[in-house]
Amino acid sequence: MGENEIPTPPIIYRGFSRIRELLTPKQTVPYLLIEHFIFLLVTSGVLFTVGGFDIMIPASTGLFFALVVYSIVHTALLSRDNWDSEADVMRDSVFQSFLLIVVSSVPIFILWFITTFDFLLYLIAIIALYILSVYARGEKFKGQRDFYIYEGSDHRELWYNASVSLEQAINHYESGNSFRGYYWSDRAMKEYEELVEKEERFKIRKAASHMATVAQFIGVASFLDDFDLEQAYMGAIEDSISRAGDAMSERICDSCGAVEDIEHIEYGYAEDEEFIFCRNCQYSSQEEYEEHINEEDLESDSGPDKSIEEACEVLGLEQPIESTEKVNEAYREKVLEVHPDTGGSNKEFIKVKESRDVLLDYLS
């Protein structure tokens, strides 16, 4: 192996990863429907073993209708476009889970009222435990840190899945679970590489590429025995994460090709297509740009007290304003919420920027 060559993972690690990949299906609506059927069969078998047909038939009938109601209501809470989205299917809240338990228990109560069997509470407990298991899996799935999720992308779920996979890889690596760490890092690397192929914007592809490198290096670090070499890879991981962050914080102007920080870009739309412009290209001429700046200055001067009050409200600050550091800190927090790349709107983003500028001018 050359000095700069990345070590090849041992075959046992690759084999474990492939087997685990086959045994870890995507938890979508079709998958849950199949799981309901298997759960019903297994439970019916246990009930038959315990009490024969006399218990199995009414209990299985109650569970069948309970699962039918659960499937209908659970699916109705999702839009049709999200049935194949694991990130959406596994996002049940506590309230939704409680609601699903209640409505799924209705068929069991009706059957109990008709037949008066004496294991009502057991059936409710079984269906409740199953629904809570789905909720617990959802919490485990969504309870991960988010690594550079580009909310403005058409591939948001893939960004989310890659982020979760990478978090799992880091957790298992830090816990010393080398096989699981390698499996999750291999999965994250494939998902980020898929994003490299699918994303259209160069900077976003670049960020995905750096994150694929992060995932690959975590996988390598998982099976290394050389401590010094492992530390070298950890340093490379930190560097790649930093490079991904830099790439995600920049965009390329669609007009002149200039690289701009996301705080300084403007969005334009034509025929439902999004365009990114640097500040200069946002206007047809330098004179028009300067005229726009002068108009903003006049608007700021027309009512300073009101402008300052509104700016504080937008940024969530209270008067008196302590320092420019407080303004910039509030701006950085707010811009993450409203930026178009993170699910906000261009209008909100511009308003936050203008509010920051008003307060900084006031303090200067």
Query: DSSP of 163-211, one letter per residue?
Result: HHHHHHHHHHHHTT-HHHHHHHHHHHHHHHHHHHHH--SHHHHHHHHHH
Per-residue DSSP letters for 85-136?
-HHHHT---HHHHHHHHHHHHHHHHHHHHHH--S-HHHHHHHHHHHHHHHHH
Q: Which residues pair with 259 in a beta bridge?
A: 252
Mean pLDDT of the chain: 79
Query: Comparing 45 with 26, which gets the higher pLDDT?
Result: 45
Q: Model confidence at 14, in pLDDT bands (50, 70, 90)?
A: confident
Provide the sign of the torsion angle of the four alpha carbons 23, 28, 29, 32, taken in this order.
positive
With 50 as the cut, is the pLDDT of residue 2 above it?
A: no
Please state, in angstroms and rounded to a whole number, the distance separating the CA atoms of residues 242 and 37. 46
- The domain made up of 303-363 has a fold known as Helix Hairpins (1.10.287)
The token pair that represents 298 in the structure block: 């006049």
pLDDT at 148: 58
Contact in structure between 315 and 330 (CB atoms under 8 Å): yes
185-197 mean pLDDT: 91
| Other beta carbons less than 10 A from residue 117's beta carbon | 18
Q: Which residue has the tokens 């969530």?
A: 316
Reduced to 3 states (helix: H, G, I; strand: E, B; else coil), residue 24 is coil
Beta-carbon contacts of 26 under 8 Å, excluding residues fewer than 6 positions away, are 84, 86
Contact in structure between 276 and 259 (CB atoms under 8 Å): no
pLDDT at 101: 93
The token pair that represents 13 in the structure block: 């690690």
Q: Model confidence at 268, in pLDDT bands (50, 70, 90)?
A: low
Per-residue pLDDT reduced to its tens digit, 311-358: 888 888 888 887 888 888 888 778 767 765 556 666 676 777 778 878
pLDDT at 304: 46
Query: Comparing 263 with 130, which gets the higher pLDDT?
Result: 130
β pairing state of 259-261 and 273-277: unpaired
Contact in structure between 89 and 27 (CB atoms under 8 Å): yes
Is 0.75 surpassed by the pTM of this model? no
pLDDT at 127: 93
Reduced to 3 states (helix: H, G, I; strand: E, B; else coil), residue 78 is coil
327 burial via Cβ count (<10 Å: 0-12, 13-18, 19+): buried
CA–chain centroid gap for 262, Å, is 20
Greatest alpha-carbon span in the chain: 88
Query: Comparing 330 with 143, which gets the higher pLDDT?
Result: 330
β pairing state of 250-252 and 273-277: unpaired
- The domain spans of the chain are 22-142, 156-248, 303-363
pLDDT at 270: 54
Beta-carbon contacts of 150 under 8 Å, excluding residues fewer than 6 positions away, are 156, 159, 199, 204, 207, 248, 341
